[in-house]
Each structure stands twice: as structure tokens, then as C-alpha cells.
A and B are shown apart, each in its own frame.
Chain A
């Protein structure tokens, strides 16, 4: 039988029980506590009737509790389903039935989003769920029998012992959610064995060690941020996240805990580098800066490599593929960080619309093989068939939607996205989802959403709005309307009122849009 994640955690809990596995600000979870707490929450879930393959939702920000809830579900063979804690009731009303979650772990709030309120709007009135476990004070827990505080849940249902489920290689370990292009969520079935082997291989490639400390800028509830942290946890090291990204405390933490690996997006790096007295922080412990989620400009890579003498890794791919293809300053020298090569445990193809390989020098869609490629889009066989290709050896390949140019040798150069996806900071926003929400607004006759380059956040969301009559619709009006319905990061950054949205056979003609702007 192949190894599973708990084999690693159990081993480290025996060898280094008091070592910190996870630190979030001053809150810590040691390897021993990890094993103890996942036993309590895992057994409590079991007592509720949750078993193998049942879905357990998590609407929680970066926290120790998130980690315990996630791994408690894995421990009993159930499937945790992390949901973005910025989600409003509209998003939750799609995700909860699509993912078929039976139990939900929630935090009280995240930033301005009152999570318990958002959940309470739809449960139990619209959906039935057996329990909603609230990591919140007793007086914030709704007075309804399906809501319970986490303390009470652990005390009433939990036990000290809980058997560890031994998954088959292709058993679905967890479901990861993306918003989907039309408001229908895409739900990724992450395979236990492949996800483990790919994360372990990447940790080996990066030469992570058990005495390393890694600090991540991306979040736990993002499949990428979670997976990159796991690469360190599988080595028995320490992983750190922030409740919310704060550049000054990020740098202070790196200095205080002598962090060896930092993980950033380009936007976060720009913010960090702008910190006054940046050069006064002692970053000499940092060996690797690990970029993902956004295009990495060469000047930022150069700052880390040449000025700070830190190895830079930039990866491209998607939540569907785990680790993918990389640019590595230690091996690729002065080339552009958007030129990627495969790793010894990954492979790629560049394909045309008919799924045939393109010739060298041509642009096509990047298709990636790793052992961790998702097995399916949960509940969506058509999309699974379109995006996941299986070769004659039974290997799964994922069509990423990234356009790349096939260069001579083994290099591909990132050239953009093939779909209408806006890359706002580290978030992917599907233009169609924002348009769908705009069209529910009573004063909007038509809407078209597109991107515009932005010097800090990469791309900003621009909504072209054709109002009904003479209505003056502002960004503020839309933000109020979106509040509680969609995540704050999907609110258009800029609103342009137009006389009409030009369409041809029903499709928006973006090239004519700007000419229609009101003067």
C-alpha cells in the first residue's frame, strides 16, 4: 500500500512532537497537537454519521482551526471542501448544493464578510445540512439546532482516539472549488496518492529540509497556497501563514523566525519591496523565494536573485495540476521568468484546438501531466472530458487554458489565457460570472466585463454598463449591490457607462466597446 499523508504526520509527531507544524501569527500547532486534535474532530465527525467520501465544507480564513478541520475530515476518509471565506450568500447557495457538503465548519467573519450571517441566510431555509460547526463565541452561534460551537462539538462528540483511514491511490482526498466561468462552480476532485507524490517530489526538487521554516503569502483555502505549504510539511518542517497579508509583519516574521523559504505572488512582492527601510530587514536566512499565481516580471525576479541573492522559483499551471512547469533562477540563469521547463516528474504538451501538438515556434494551449492532476470535475462529466485527457499509459493530462509559445528546446513561454479570465492579483475572476451578477441589477440593461492592465495588481476588472434609461450607475452602487452576493474581489474596479453594448450574433464585441462610452 502506498503512503498517505498521515504516515508522515504520525512519524513526525513521534520524532519531533513539540515541533511547530503550523504557525499563524502567535498561534501554533505542533505535530503532536495536530495528531491529537484531528483525532478529536475526526471522531466527532464520525459520531455525526460522516463517513468515507462524505463532503465536509470549510468556510474559514487562514487559521489553526482551518488546518484541524481539513485534516480531521481526511483522517476519516471524508472529503474536505475548502470554500473562499470571502464568499457571500449567492456563491454559497451555489457551492453548498454543488459540493453536497453534509457538515460545514465556519468562522465568525473574515474581513468585512460576516460568514455566519451569510450562511444563516440560506441554511436551513434553503438547504438542509446536518451540522454547522462555528469557530465563534457561544453568543455568536445562531439559535438553531443545526448550529453548534466548535468547543461544544468537540466536547460532546469528540474522543481521544480516531482510526486513520487508508485511502486507495485514486481516492478523492478533497474537493477544491473555483468559481466557474458562468457562475456554476468548478469543483476539483484531488486524488490522494497523486497529490501526495507530486507535492513530495516538488519538496525534493526544492531541497526542503526538516529544519526549514516556510512563510506563505498565498492562503490555505487556495489549492496552490495549501499545496506549496504541504511540500514543507511533508519534510517535517514548519509552515507559516498570516491571517491577512501584512507586509511589515511579514518581514518582521521572516526576520524573527529566520524563515528559509518565502512564497509570494508578484503583487505581494511589489508591496513587500516598497516597504520603507526594506533593506534594513535581515533576510539573510531566506534561501528560496517561491512565486506562483501571477506573471512574474523579470525586474522583480532580478531584485531577488541579483540584489538579495535568493533563488527564485516561478511556477505555472493551475489548481487542477498541483505542481507543473517551472522557471528556476538556479538553473535558468538570466532568461525570462515566463519561460518554463518541465520537471523530472511532470511533462507538458502544447496543443491546438484539435488537441494535436503544435510545431515549434507556434502558440497553443499548455497541457500538463503530473500524477496529481485531478481525476474529475465533481458532478461535471462534460467539463471533465473536455479538460482532462488520458493517454495510452493511463496518465492524466490537464488542458490549462494558458496559451504558451513552444520555443526551441524544452521551453514554453507564457503568452496569456485562452478564456475570458481576469487575473486580478492572485485571484482569477471569470468575466461571465461578474456579468451574470450585473445583469440581475434592476437598473442595468446590458453589461460587458473585461480586463485592463494595472501597474500594481496586474489586471483590474472593468465593467461596461448599459443602464436602463438615464440611470447613473457608479462603482459604489454596484459594490453595495454585490455586497453579500459575491466576493469583494469580484466587484468591478472601474465602471464605464455606455450607450449600448455592441453585440454580434449574441457575442459581445469588445473592440467596439470603448467607442460607445458616454462623453
Chain B
């Protein structure tokens, strides 16, 4: 468990997708509400993992559809990037 802060996390998402953080909830759909396509989801994944310096398998990112799932994935399965 990485003990990530939800408000900080959605701000990181907001910085990438350009949608106000206040509009982003756990149920926000990455495709319908953030207007990402599947490659855009990997772009968001790269941005988040770079920001938090955590690694997470791309194949797990590929099956995500909501922001809350992304938060849980990073919190539970993110492993520190080796410097």
C-alpha cells in the first residue's frame, strides 16, 4: 500500500487531461468523461507513474475504465522506480 492522497492524485490526473480536479471523482470514466482513447490512457499512466515515481504494469492499466480504479491500482500495486 502506497498511501496515496486522493486529492493530490486527482490533481495529477487533472494536470494531464486538462479537466478541473473538482470534476474528477472515483467514478469518472477515463474514456467518456476524460476523453481519452486507449493510447491516451497509457499517456496518462506514464504521467502518473512518472509523477509518483512508481511502476505499474501497462497491461493492468489497459483494463482500467474509471479514475478510482487507477488510484487503487497505483496504491496497491505500484512499486518504486529504481533510481
Residue of A nearest to B32 (CB): A112
Complex contact B39–A491 (CB within 8 A): no
Q: Nearest CB to that of A457 among chain B residues?
A: B39
In the complex, whether B17 has a CB less than 8 A from a CB of chain A is yes
Q: Are A271 and B59 neighbours in the complex by a CB distance under 8 Å?
A: yes
A276 B32 Cβ-Cβ under 8 A: no
| Interfacial chain B residues near A482, Cβ < 8 Å | 35
A275 is contacted by which of B19, B20, B59 (Cβ under 8 Å)?
Answer: B59
- State which of B17, B31, B38, B46 has its C-beta within 8 Å of the C-beta of A475: B17
Q: Which of B19, B38, B45, B63 contacts A476 (CB 8 A)?
A: B19
- Evaluate contact between A86 and B59: CB separation under 8 angstroms: no
Instruction: Report the separation of the CA atoms of residues A248 and B31 in the bound assembly, to the nearest whole angstrom.
Output: 20
B57 engages A457 (CB within 8 Å): no
Q: B50-83 vs A: 1/0 string, CB under 8 Å?
A: 0000000111101100000000000000000000
- Given A248-B63, A272-B59: A479 touches B39 (CB 8 Å cut-off): no
CA distance A131 to B39 in the complex (A): 34
Chain A residue nearest to B35 (CB atoms) is A479
**A98 interface contact, C-beta 8 A:** no
Against B, the Cβ 8 Å flags (1 = close, 0 = not) of A238-277 are: 0000001111100000000000000000010011101110
- Taken together as a complex, chains A and B put the C-alpha atoms of A460 and B46 apart, in Å, by 12
- Please indicate which of the listed interface residues A86, A271, A276, A482 has the most CB atoms of chain B within 10 Å of its own CB: A271
A427 to B58, CA, bound (A): 19
Q: From A86, which residue of chain B is reached at the shortest CB distance? A: B37
- Does A111 lie within 8 Å of B43, measured CB to CB? no
Extra inter-chain contacts (14) besides given A455-B46, A475-B17, A488-B40, CB under 8 Å = A246-B62, A247-B58, A247-B63, A267-B39, A271-B42, A276-B59, A454-B43, A475-B18, A476-B34, A479-B36, A487-B37, A489-B37, A489-B39, A489-B40
* CB nearest to A247 among chain B residues: B59
Q: Are B40 and A491 in contact (CB under 8 A)?
A: yes
Q: Is the CB of A456 within 8 A of B57?
A: no
Check: A163 CB closer than 8 A to any chain B CB: no
> At the interface, yes or no: A23 with Cβ under 8 Å from chain B?
no
25 A-B pairs in the complex with CB atoms less than 8 angstroms apart: A86-B37, A111-B37, A112-B35, A245-B62, A246-B62, A247-B59, A247-B63, A248-B59, A267-B39, A267-B42, A275-B59, A425-B39, A455-B46, A456-B39, A456-B43, A456-B58, A457-B42, A457-B43, A476-B17, A476-B18, A477-B18, A479-B19, A488-B40, A491-B35, A491-B37
Interface set of A (CB-CB < 8 Å, partner B): 86, 111-112, 244-248, 267, 270-272, 274-276, 424-425, 427, 454-457, 460, 474-480, 482-483, 487-489, 491, 493, 495
Least Cβ–Cβ distance between A126 and chain B, in angstroms: 25
CB neighbours (8 Å) of A454 from chain B are: 43, 46
CB of B16 closer than 8 Å to a CB of A: yes
Which residues does chain B contribute within 8 Å of A247, judged by CB atoms? 58-59, 62-63
Other-chain contact of B43, A460, A478, A488 (Cβ < 8 Å):
A460
Q: Are A112 and B43 in contact (CB under 8 A)?
A: no
User: Nearest chain B CB to A444's CB is how many angstroms away?
Assistant: 14
Chain A proximity of B19: nearest CB distance (Å): 4
| B59 / chain A contacts, CB cutoff of 8 Å | 247-248, 271-272, 274-276
| B49 CB, min distance to chain A CBs, angstroms | 10
Query: Could you say which of A270, A271, A272, A479 contacts B18, with CB atoms under 8 Å apart?
Result: A479
Residues A111 and B31 in contact, CB atoms below 8 Å apart = yes
Flag if A245 contacts B40 (CB, 8 Å).
Answer: no
Q: Is the Cβ of A474 less than 8 Å from the Cβ of B18?
A: yes
Contacts of A479 in B (CB 8 A): 17-19, 34-36
- Are A271 and B58 closer than 8 Å at their CB atoms? yes
Contact A488–B36 (Cβ < 8 Å): yes
Docked pose: A474 CA to B57 CA in angstroms: 28
Nearest CB in chain B to that of A490: its residue: B37
Chain A contacts for B20, CB-based, 8 A: 476
A474, B42: Cβ atoms closer than 8 Å: no
Give the docked Cα–Cα distance between A378 and B32 (Å): 35
- The CA of A428 and the CA of B34, in the complex, are separated in Å by 22
Would you call B16 and A456 a contact (CB within 8 A)?
no
Instruction: Say whether B35 contacts A488, CB under 8 Å.
Output: yes
Q: Is the Cβ of A276 less than 8 Å from the Cβ of B37?
A: no
Closest residue of chain B to A481 (Cβ to Cβ) is B35
Beyond A474-B19, A479-B17, whether A493 also contacts B40 by CB under 8 A is: yes
A427 to chain B, nearest CB (A): 8
Note all chain A residues with C-beta closer than 8 A to B62. Answer: 245-247, 271
In the assembly, what is the distance between CA of A272 and CA of B63, in Å?
12
The verdict on A456 contacting B17 (CB below 8 Å), with A244-B38, A275-B57 known, is no
**Who on chain A is nearest to B23 by CB?**
A476
Known A248-B59, A271-B59, A276-B59; contact A480-B42, beta-carbon cutoff 8 A = no
- A456–B46 touching, CB < 8 Å: yes
Counting chain A CB atoms within 10 Å of each CB, the highest count among B18, B19, B57, B60 belongs to B18
| Whole-angstrom distance between the Cβ of A74 and the nearest chain B Cβ | 30
Q: Which residues of B contact A488 (CB under 8 A)?
A: 31, 35-37, 40
A268 and B28 CA atoms in complex are apart in Å by: 25
